[in-house]
Structure 1
Amino acid sequence: MTDRPLTLMAVHAHPDDEATGTGGVLARYAAEGIRTVLVTCTDGGCGDGPGGVKPGEPGHDPAAVASMRRRELEASCDVLGISDLETLDYADSGMIGWPSNEAPGAFWQTPVEEGAARLAELMRHYRPDVVVTYDENGFYGHPDHIQAHRITMAALEMTELTPKVYWTTMPRSAMRRFGEIMREFHEDMPESEPEPESESESESELVSESAEAAAPAEIGLPDDEITTWVDTTAFSGQKFDALAAHASQGENIFFLKMGKERFGELMGMETFLRVQDATGAAVPEKDLFAGLR
């Protein structure tokens, strides 16, 4: 045995992604004394600038946006109690089809082996017991999310480590609820046909071009296919505050519009698909660390 603490590593694409899909588990496990490591792959430079200026508009400075978003990311980590923040600082690739997808230095243009090698070094250093990232489609088709998935899975292959590995997901039942809630806040939104879940991406860029990039069947999973349901109700306030720390992107963070109380009612469960396990813990499970403690 070793005195090394149990460790969770979450690999995310942009500043603010850590709060949306995993803010609850990061806060919960930090409170339980587990070391929480966040790896953020891009600088977020394709986010909104001061005053809501959009990428490509006059006055949008990606370097200044990246600097601002780094400060917000650090504030979010403080709120969630994250013990270690690592940033790979690749250039934000932007949404699918943006010219920034092809820019030199963009994460989407980075060879998978290069990003994976850097991440593998971090894995060897922190030796995580649990690793969380996105599925093959980056949950909803964002290039940087897909790339984060690719480098994470490749990095795992480069190491001798055998952590439990999870991909973030959402139950289809919850996606339907989000579709209904979005229509409350956006009365001009059309009714879904035929799949309500296709209208919600459940990420910071919630109402965006990326909805068109993922087929309905690729967003979320049927409830009975989800392996892991983690109750983070007690930490939903921290999760909300972590999202709010990314104030410069507030226009894009749909969840902030519903207020903390409603947010807590809807965002108290975080769900995952377990894709690697050496513990033999039975599924469905209620704890990412089932079989490890």
Structure 2
Amino acid sequence: MTDRPLTLMAVHAHPDDEATGTGGVLARYAAEGVRTVLVTCTDGRCGDGPGGVKPGEDGHDPVAVAAMRRKELEASCEVLEVGHLELLEYADSGMMGWESNDAPGSFWRTPVADGAARLAELMRHYRPDVVVTYDENGFYGHPDHIQAHRITMAALELVDLSPKVYWTTVPHSAVRRFGEVMREFGPDQEQSAQAAEAAEAAELPEAPELPEASELPELGLPDEEISTWVDTTAFGGRKFDALAAHASQGDNIFFLRMGKERFTELLGVETFVRVKDTTGAALPENDLFAGLR
């Protein structure tokens, strides 16, 4: 036995990714005494600038955007009580097909071996019992998410550790519910008073029009293929507040339009696929640390 605390390491691509897919587990496990480590791979420079200015538009300063998003990330980590924040600080690559994919220093252009070596050093230092990242498609095809997956899986091959490893996902049933909520809060509907108050409190810009539910990309997995369902309902408010801390990106964060109660109803359970395990814990499971405590 060891007196080292159980440790969760989440490897994400950009500032704000930590809140969307793993804000609940980061907050829950921190409250349970688990040491939480967040690794953010890029600086987020391809995000929106002040006032919602987009990359490439007049007034978008990538260096200033990166500095702003770092402060927002630190604020999010405070809300989630993340124990340790590690920044790899690669340049945000932007969406697939953007010229920034191949810019010098971009994460997408970085050799996987180089990123994996840096991440492996962090793994040796923290010795995580559980590692969470994206699947091989980066959940929805973003180059930085794909690269985060690649360096995480490569780093695990470099270290003498046997953590449980998970990829984030969503069940198809949740995608259908998301489509229903999009219609409810879409451009033809008035925002609820609660959602409007939340947006105002977070100083978010006016929300853009949303795509039709039929235009949503194919995301996630059939419910029966989800291995791990973690109830984080008790931490839904914190997850919402962590996401709201990334106020500069509010133009792109649909979930903040619905208010905390509906947000928690929709996102109160975080789901994963277990891809590496030495504990033999039975599936499906409701705890990332099943078999470890």
Taking structure 1 as the reference length, the TM-score comes to: 0.91
Counterpart secondary structure, 2:258: helix
Change in 2 beyond 3 A, CA 1:3/1:178: same
In structure 2, the partner of 1:253 is 253
2: CA distance, partners of 1:144 / 1:76? 20
What per-residue deviation string (whole Å, max 9, x for no partner) do you get for residues 101-141 of structure 1?
11111000000000000000000000000000000000000
The answer as to whether partners of 1:11 and 1:39 remain within 8 angstroms in 2 is yes
What per-residue deviation string (whole Å, max 9, x for no partner) do you get for residues 144-197 of structure 1?
0000000000000000110000000000000011112112223474452xxxxx
Moved over 6 A (4+): none
Counterpart secondary structure, 2:250: helix
Counterpart secondary structure, 1:124: helix
In structure 1, the partner of 2:169 is 169
Q: For residue 3 of structure 1, what is the amino acid of its counterpart?
A: D
- The within-5 A match list for 1:1-293 is 1-186=1-186, 187=188, 189-190=211-212, 192=214, 199=216, 211=217, 216=218, 219-293=219-293
1: CA distance, partners of 2:40 / 2:211? 32
Counterpart secondary structure, 2:272: strand
User: Percent identity among equivalent residues?
Assistant: 80
The answer as to whether partners of 2:182 and 2:213 remain within 8 angstroms in 1 is no
2: CA distance, partners of 1:285 / 1:238? 23
The answer as to whether partners of 1:231 and 1:268 remain within 8 angstroms in 2 is yes
What per-residue deviation string (whole Å, max 9, x for no partner) do you get for residues 16-36 of structure 1?
000000000000000000000
The answer as to whether partners of 1:95 and 1:142 remain within 8 angstroms in 2 is yes
The answer as to whether partners of 2:7 and 2:127 remain within 8 angstroms in 1 is yes
- Mind listing any 5+ residue stretches in structure 1 that lack a counterpart? 193-197, 200-210
The answer as to whether partners of 1:183 and 1:189 remain within 8 angstroms in 2 is no
2: CA distance, partners of 1:261 / 1:144? 31
1: CA distance, partners of 2:127 / 2:91? 26
The answer as to whether partners of 1:30 and 1:36 remain within 8 angstroms in 2 is yes
Q: For residue 85 of structure 1, what is the amino acid of its counterpart?
A: L
Q: For residue 8 of structure 1, what is the amino acid of its counterpart?
A: L
- Mind listing any 5+ residue stretches in structure 2 that lack a counterpart? 189-209
Give the deviation of 1:82 after TM superposition: 0.3
Query: CA RMSD, aligned part only?
Result: 1.0
Change in 2 beyond 3 A, CA 1:47/1:191: closer
Counterpart secondary structure, 2:47: coil
Q: For residue 27 of structure 1, what is the amino acid of its counterpart?
A: A
Q: For residue 106 of structure 1, what is the amino acid of its counterpart?
A: S
Give the deviation of 1:2 after TM superposition: 1.0
Taking structure 2 as the reference length, the TM-score comes to: 0.91
1: CA distance, partners of 2:47 / 2:176? 27
1: CA distance, partners of 2:143 / 2:184? 29
Counterpart secondary structure, 1:4: coil
The answer as to whether partners of 2:281 and 2:291 remain within 8 angstroms in 1 is yes
What per-residue deviation string (whole Å, max 9, x for no partner) do you get for residues 63-118 of structure 1?
00000000000000000000000000000000111111111110000000000000
Q: For residue 248 of structure 1, what is the amino acid of its counterpart?
A: S
Counterpart secondary structure, 1:109: coil
Counterpart secondary structure, 2:108: helix
**How many pairs does the alignment contain?**
271
1: CA distance, partners of 2:17 / 2:46? 14
2: CA distance, partners of 1:94 / 1:83? 28
Further displaced range: 252-261 or 116-125: 252-261
Counterpart secondary structure, 1:89: strand
Counterpart secondary structure, 2:132: strand
